[in-house]
Amino acid sequence: MQKRKTKNMVFISLIIAFFISAFGIFSFSQNIAQAKSSVTKWQKKLIAMGVDPALYQACLPKVSRAEYIRVMKLAAGSGTEKPATDTSGSLGPEISVGLWNFSKSDTFKIDANKGYNIKNSDGNVIAQVAADSTTKVEYDDDGDLKVSGSIASTTVSDKVLFDATDGDNSTLIFNTHKPGDDYDHFRGKIEVNYYHGDDIYSGSSSSVTQIWVINKLPLEQYVWGMGETTGTGDTDHVRVMTTIFRTYGDWYIENATKYKPLGFKIRSDSGSQIYGGYDWEKDHPKIKSAAGDTRGKIIKYKGEVALTPYCSYTNGKTIDYPGHDYPYLKSVKDHRKGIIKSLKPGDNGNHMWGLSAHGALGFAEDGKAWDWILKYYYTGVKIEGSY
């Protein structure tokens, strides 16, 4: 009997030891970004999905496919995934947003709400600085950037990256000190990228020199800062807009290549879709709430992410998109609230393709649900959860 009890205790001890080594339950480093230099595509997926770093710390230096699957189950299963308004769990793929650019003669300043890393273009940590430390980035010479302020003046190559020292970028908020703009706080990572080449941003073929400020964050947190609405209308209308904003962002993640040389996928202005970052999120909390109601929902057509254009008004109907590239953009009768009879296609930016924003508001006020409204304006689509 004593031998059997001893064997049982040994077996239980082995199980406990396995869980400690496999999942790092009792100890893990605060900064997984520095843990090891090799980052597999599976670890990148976990980072992009916003998964708690503690769940895969023990898998480093190289997260395998099997470990990725196991960690995702841990994140989503057994009640460990937290509500939509939480900052942990799956927040979708990472989106890179071009915020603005500055010239060689300007100085970029940044600080944060907690400690942050300064990294070079290879992802190596140059320094770790405290939250209240302001870092400066300036052009140095020959395509290089110079970092100073919080650290001794240091020249790096054409890129400087900033992220959280504790590995949790979802709660990291940077103050980018954008001149003349109150909306200059952003969640997630910030990158400063030097570019010299064709003027891709304006469409000109002339050569330009630009230093871009780029925000990288999970898609869901990007939606929280959507500047296309104030979120003060009918709740279902705000749900409509957050779903469109998320879908449009996801389409750019998967398909956009135009701004790749500049270091990002999508712009933060009306040239793509307006993104106001953390300040907009904070000032318009109903957007984040509606995003939580539609969390991870993407509009798809035949299994592919749909491009979801919308306009403010129509002259009575939306119009067919020319050609065959977007078969879900069909003409439908608009709600009376979205109609301006004298309007012509193109007037005030109203191309009349896809969804009519004021028409959608009218349907929402009539009691139509957000998903019904989307399927009404985008013919034949499905709304699917992507994360």
pLDDT in tens, 54-92: 666 667 767 787 777 767 766 654 333 333 333 335 899
Name the DSSP letter for residue 172.
Answer: -
Name the DSSP letter for residue 255.
Answer: H
Q: Answer whether residue 8 shows pLDDT above 70.
A: no
Tokens representing 270 are 């009306």
pLDDT of residue 63: 79
d(CA 108, CA 116): 16
pLDDT of residue 10: 43
Tokens representing 10 are 């040994």
Inter-residue contact 186 to 174 (CB < 8 Å): yes
Name the DSSP letter for residue 357.
Answer: H
Burial of 128 (0-12, 13-18, 19+ CB in 10 A): middle
38: confidence class by pLDDT, cuts 50, 70, 90: low
Digit-coded pLDDT (tens) for 333-375:
999 999 999 999 999 989 999 999 999 999 999 999 999 999 9
Name the DSSP letter for residue 226.
Answer: B
Inter-residue contact 362 to 376 (CB < 8 Å): no
d(CA 93, CA 235): 26
- Cis status, amide bond into 61, omega within 30 of 0: yes
Element housing 96 (H / E) = strand 94-102
Average pLDDT score over residue span 12-40:
40
Q: Answer whether residue 317 shows pLDDT above 60.
A: yes
Q: Which residues are paired to 292 by β-bridges?
A: none
Inter-residue contact 196 to 166 (CB < 8 Å): no
Q: Answer whether residue 5 shows pLDDT above 60.
A: no
d(CA 269, CA 266): 9
Torsion from C-alpha of 212, 218, 221, 223, nearest 10 degrees? 80
The CA distances from residue 73 to 24, 44, 69, in Å, are 16, 17, 6
Alpha-helix residue ranges (DSSP H) falling in 178-234:
219-224
Torsion from C-alpha of 8, 14, 15, 16, nearest 10 degrees? 110
Tokens representing 302 are 């035949």
Digit-coded pLDDT (tens) for 298-311:
999 999 999 999 99
pLDDT of residue 42: 75
Within 13 Å of residue 45, how many CA atoms lie on the same side as its CB?
A: 14
Inter-residue contact 345 to 266 (CB < 8 Å): no
Which residues are CB-neighbours of 369 under 8 A, at least 6 positions away? 236
Q: What is the mean pLDDT of the chain?
A: 86
Question: The pTM is what?
Answer: 0.76
Cα four-point dihedral sign 296, 186, 138, 179: positive
Q: What is the DSSP string of 52-84?
A: -GGGTGGGTT---HHHHHHHHHHHHSTT-SPPT
- Look up residue 155 and give its amino acid: T
Residue 147, helix vs strand vs coil: strand
Residue 168, helix vs strand vs coil: coil
Element housing 298 (H / E) = strand 297-301
Average pLDDT score over residue span 161-186:
95
Phi, psi of 224 (to 5 degrees): -60, -25
d(CA 43, CA 38): 10
d(CA 109, CA 382): 44
pLDDT of residue 205: 76
In this structure, of 38-52, 199-213, 218-232, the range with the lowest mean pLDDT score is 38-52
